[in-house]
């Protein structure tokens, strides 16, 4: 019965519709468009806390909103606020010579139609002096502790030294000019905990009169602070390595049983050197670049068996309050430029972009599509002196020739330094001990080196061989090759080699004293 009733109702409905259609054909009709969709109000700030040093300065907060009006009210007469009309709220403060810490707030209200959203920015200015990180010399990386205020000279690129054979200084100089403001590009922990990452840098970095000031939070980790021009272009950037653990150095013994330098007790950017601890990984670097990339956030797995296990390669692209975006895929390539300095200015402006050589590997360097002497041996990192692109902290540099092998003496591009056991076929001890705890120990010093894998985009993957292999750069370019390659030491559970690698890969670094 129900089924028949539904059929009759449908039949009657069709009859009514047909009649309506006939009637409509005899009258004039007017089409009515659906109402235009109204987007809801959105309102977002790049930060909610600004901390000025004693010298004051200017901080810029990025504002993203579709509001019709954006009003703000400042509580505190010691600072000024300006909406520049280009998406930035600029807060400025003079020097604070009083013994008291200054505090205040900026209340913002965004309105779209009848919708309203509000936000509060806390503004603080310290009365105590910050630690001047560049007092002993400038660098691309500064090693700091939690809960402390710092300042550094932002007018010098790197250490103000040479640029190898890249001709960068000839074109771009060593001075940083045209600075409008400082910006926090990213802050992160190796374990990928985004909540904890937000506690690495406290507030927004401030630029004033040639110096950047910032305050560290309560969490250890790594961050990148940049200075930008008025249009938001990155002029230069600095790696902030926040580690409360005392970092020590000791003699490094090379394969010839010679002391070849004073080496750090951990990887660049690492919080410790404890086997199987994810915080021992440190940062990844393309050869010759100064800015770091994050390693995989996956924990170590002792069953990787030298393999590239996808689930052990979780990308670590979470950041805290920094609004920058990691650009790591096969789609991002260096520009087709064959004259030095070629892509170096582009890499400076895009410190979070992985640069593949134009058209793939093909022997080209990431920075220039050429087979010239400058491309094959660019010395962007140098074994003889620290360059403006060296990523190590003040007083340190990338290790040089034959630290972990003697390939240059043998005129080879691959020199075996370890195997699946402790000795070679002749019973001689290898420099590297057998693999253990997802790493190997350099026998001559007892130093542990973790197998944190590498970073190189292939398909949907960015990180590779975490727990299965270790890769470490040195400043030792191959001088008699037909393409751009530099030596590294790499190892898994079966073999360890001193090997000439393509310079577009991202490996790790263990710094040595200058």
Tens of pLDDT along 281-323? Answer: 999 999 999 999 999 999 999 999 999 999 999 987 767 656 6
Top CATH class, 137-242: mainly beta
- Least Cα distance to 444 among 482, 503, 404 occurs for 404
Mean pLDDT to the nearest integer, 272-277? 98
Query: Can you list the positions of beta strands (E) in 351-510?
Result: 396-397, 414-419, 439-442, 447-450, 454-458, 461-464, 470-477, 485-491, 495-502, 506-507
Mean pLDDT to the nearest integer, 55-70? 92
For 402-437, the pLDDT digits (tens) are: 899 888 777 788 889 999 999 999 999 999 999 999
Whether residue 127 is predicted with pLDDT greater than 60 in this model: the reply is yes
CA dist 367 and 286 (Å) reads 11
List, in order, residues 6 or more apart from 12 with CB less than 8 Å away.
none
Residue 10 pLDDT: 32
Mean pLDDT to the nearest integer, 333-348? 91
CA dist 137 and 287 (Å) reads 23
Residue 389 pLDDT: 98
Q: What is the percent of the chain where pLDDT is above 90?
A: 70
Mean pLDDT to the nearest integer, 234-255? 97
User: Taking the CB of residue 277, how many other CB atoms lie within 10 A of it?
Assistant: 17
Residue 21 pLDDT: 37
Q: In this structure, are strands 69-75 and 43-45 parallel, antiparallel, or unpaired?
A: unpaired
Split at pLDDT 50, 70, 90, the class of 364 is confident
For 493-510, the pLDDT digits (tens) are: 999 999 998 898 999 999
Residue 33 pLDDT: 53
Any idea which residue has 């103000």 for tokens?
160
Whether residue 110 is predicted with pLDDT greater than 70 in this model: the reply is yes
Residue 31 pLDDT: 47
Better-predicted residue by pLDDT, 269 or 86:
269
Question: φ, ψ for residue 408 (rounded to 5)?
Answer: -65, -30
CA dist 491 and 440 (Å) reads 8
Report residue 244 as tokens. 């409360």
Any idea which residue has 């074994």 for tokens?
383
- Contact, 405 vs 412, CB < 8 A? no
Split at pLDDT 50, 70, 90, the class of 365 is confident
Residue 487 pLDDT: 93
Residue 30 pLDDT: 45
Whether residue 5 is predicted with pLDDT greater than 50 in this model: the reply is no
Residue 402 pLDDT: 83
Q: Give yes or no on whether 43-125 and 137-242 have one common fold.
A: yes
Domain 43-125 has CATH 2.60.40.10: yes
Across-strand partners of 110? 70, 117
Report residue 250 as tokens. 């000791």
Residue 6 pLDDT: 35
Q: Enumerate the domain spans of the chain.
A: 43-125, 137-242
Q: In this structure, are strands 69-75 and 102-112 parallel, antiparallel, or unpaired?
A: antiparallel
Whether residue 11 is predicted with pLDDT greater than 60 in this model: the reply is no
Helices and strands (H, E) in the chain, number of each type: 6, 30
Whether residue 32 is predicted with pLDDT greater than 80 in this model: the reply is no
Q: Which helix (H) or strand (E) holds 242?
A: strand 234-242
Q: What is the DSSP letter of 279?
A: G
Split at pLDDT 50, 70, 90, the class of 26 is very low
- Contact, 479 vs 413, CB < 8 A? no
Whether residue 20 is predicted with pLDDT greater than 50 in this model: the reply is no
Q: In this structure, are strands 141-144 and 234-242 parallel, antiparallel, or unpaired?
A: parallel
3-class state of residue 8 by DSSP = helix
For 433-461, the pLDDT digits (tens) are: 999 999 999 999 999 999 999 999 988 88
Residue 1 pLDDT: 36
CA dist 471 and 293 (Å) reads 14
Mean pLDDT to the nearest integer, 43-70? 92
């Amino acid at each position: 019965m129900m089924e028949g009733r539904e059929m009759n109702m449908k039949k009657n409905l069709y009859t009514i519709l047909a009649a309506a259609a006939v009637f409509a054909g005899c009258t004039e009709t007017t089409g009515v468009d659906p109402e235009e969709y109204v987007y809801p109000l959105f309102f977002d700030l790049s930060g909610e806390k600004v901390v000025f040093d004693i010298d004051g300065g200017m901080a810029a907060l990025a504002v993203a909103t579709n509001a019709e009006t954006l009003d703000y009210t400042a509580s505190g007469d010691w600072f000024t606020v300006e909406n520049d009309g280009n998406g930035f709220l600029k807060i400025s403060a003079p020097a604070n010579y009083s013994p008291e810490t200054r505090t205040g707030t900026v209340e913002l209200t965004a309105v779209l139609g009848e919708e309203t959203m509000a936000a509060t920015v806390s503004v603080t200015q310290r009365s105590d002096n910050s630690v001047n990180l560049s007092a002993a010399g400038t660098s691309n990386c500064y090693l700091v502790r939690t809960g402390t205020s710092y300042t550094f000279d932002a007018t010098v690129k790197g250490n103000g030294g040479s640029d190898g054979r890249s001709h960068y200084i000839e074109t771009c100089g060593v001075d940083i000019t045209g600075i409008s403001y400082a910006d926090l590009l990213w802050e992160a922990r190796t374990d990928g905990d985004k909540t904890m990452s937000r506690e690495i840098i406290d507030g927004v970095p401030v630029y004033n009169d040639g110096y950047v000031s910032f305050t560290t939070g309560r969490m250890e980790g790594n961050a990148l602070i940049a200075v930008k021009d008025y249009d938001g272009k990155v002029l230069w950037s600095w790696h902030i390595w926040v580690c409360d653990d005392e970092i020590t150095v000791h003699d490094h013994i090379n394969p010839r049983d010679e002391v070849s330098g004073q080496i750090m007790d951990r990887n660049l950017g690492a919080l410790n050197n404890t086997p199987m601890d994810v915080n021992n990984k440190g940062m990844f670097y393309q050869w010759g670049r100064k800015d770091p990339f994050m390693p995989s956030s996956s924990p170590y797995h002792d069953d990787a068996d030298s393999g590239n296990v996808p689930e052990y390669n979780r990308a670590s692209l979470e950041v805290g309050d920094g609004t920058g975006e990691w650009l790591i895929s096969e789609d991002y390539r260096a520009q087709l430029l064959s004259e030095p300095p070629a892509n170096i200015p582009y890499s400076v402006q895009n410190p979070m972009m992985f640069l593949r050589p134009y058209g793939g590997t093909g022997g080209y360097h990431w920075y220039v599509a050429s087979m010239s002497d400058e491309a094959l041996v660019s010395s962007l990192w140098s074994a003889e002196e620290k360059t403006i692109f060296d990523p190590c902290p003040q007083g340190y540099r990338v290790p040089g020739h034959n630290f972990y092998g003697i390939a240059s003496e043998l005129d080879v591009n691959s020199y075996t330094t370890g195997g699946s056991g402790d000795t070679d076929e002749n019973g001689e001890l290898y420099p590297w001990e057998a693999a253990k705890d997802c790493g190997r120990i350099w026998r001559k010093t007892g130093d542990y080196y973790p197998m944190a894998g590498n970073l190189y985009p292939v398909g949907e993957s960015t990180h590779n061989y975490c727990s299965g292999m270790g890769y470490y750069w040195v400043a030792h370019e191959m001088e008699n090759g037909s393409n751009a390659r530099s030596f590294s030491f790499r190892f898994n559970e079966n073999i360890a080699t001193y090997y000439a690698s393509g310079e577009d890969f991202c490996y790790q670094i263990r710094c040595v004293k200058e």
